[in-house]
Amino acid sequence: METMAKRQALHTPRRFWRLKWDREALVLVAPYVVYLALFIFYPFFMALYGSMSDWDILTGKMDFVGLKYYERLITDPAFLKSFKNNLVYLIVQIPPSIIIGLFVATLLNQRIKLRATFRTIYFMPVVTPAVVLAVVWTFVFQVHGGVLNIALTSLGLPAGKWLTSEATSMPSIALMKIWTDIGFYSVLFLAALQSVPADLIDAARVDGANAWQSFLHITVPLINPTVVFSVVMATIWGMQMFAEPFLMTEGGPLGSSRTLALLLYERGFIFS
């Protein structure tokens, strides 16, 4: 009995301190929980409920209709085509942007002259307004007098209808975005490469690994979180893309470059 009493005496302050710490933790976490509840979860569930209701904005009356609008959505040819356009854009744009960005970052990570200058040059398209880039690249892709077609014809190659052909309009926009986003990914990967411990690379070289083996088996696994982050963000930005197709093609020709964001704009503000 005496031993049990001593154990209780020893554990009581610890339990009291833990309870006190839990209360303090709850107080510290409470503002964030309230923020999530008010500005994340509540709007999300209200939007979900609103998408399943007939909503009169003037009166605020909402009549639940279930999956009626979702059924209409997945059978809408314009939506399906816009979704396909987004997928084409993601497939064409994301892999080259990330691979070239990683390659440029690897070059910039070497001890070369004017390294800071090259970093600035590569990053300039990222800070240039999308409107300016879209206008410039529209002139580049012009059928008559466009820089790209002039270069192709000077090499004896046929000119292309880049923004006026259903087959090439979306890939052309993706090409422009590849050029734009290389600077962002190169800076992102450069920061990741500089965080790789040099001791690991040196140890691998001592063990007989060449530069490619060190990069593939040491550098790539260590920067993998950055690669995943880049793919996720590129996918999000790709699904939200609006300015470039709106300014360069207005979704044409025949909806071949209309994205989901552009379709939403047209249905909400133009054809409503």
pLDDT string in tens for the chain (272-residue length): 455 554 555 555 555 445 555 778 888 888 999 999 999 999 999 888 888 888 877 777 888 888 888 898 889 999 999 999 999 999 999 999 999 999 999 888 887 777 778 778 878 888 888 899 999 999 999 988 889 999 999 998 998 899 998 999 999 999 999 999 998 999 999 999 988 888 888 888 888 888 888 888 888 899 999 999 999 999 999 999 999 999 999 888 888 899 999 999 988 887 65
Residue 14's pLDDT is 54
Tell whether 50 and 98 lie within a shared domain: no
Residues 9 and 108 in one domain: no
- 232 and 102: one domain? yes
The residue segments making up the domain with residue 31 are: 2-70
Confidence at residue 136, expressed as pLDDT on a 0 to 100 scale = 92
Q: Assign residue 214 the CATH number of its domain.
A: 1.10.3720.10
Provide the 3-class DSSP secondary structure of residue 63.
strand
Distance CA(65)–CA(21), nearest Å, equals 48
pTM (2 decimals)? 0.79
- Domain end among 70, 87, 102: 70
**What does the pLDDT read at residue 133?**
92
What are the tokens at 113? Answer: 């002259």
Let me know whether 84 and 7 are in one domain.
Answer: no
- Identify whether residues 154 and 247 lie together within a single domain: yes
| pLDDT value of position 170 | 94
Query: 3-state DSSP call for residue 62?
Result: strand
Angstrom CA distances, 94 to 100, 194, 230, 236, stand at 10, 23, 9, 11
Same domain for 23 and 81? Answer: no
Whether 177 and 217 share a structural domain: yes
pLDDT at 18: 54
Same structural domain, 92 and 63: no
Q: Tell me, yes or no, whether 162 and 198 share the same domain.
A: yes
Overall number of domains in the chain: 2
Q: Are residues 172 and 221 in the same domain?
A: yes
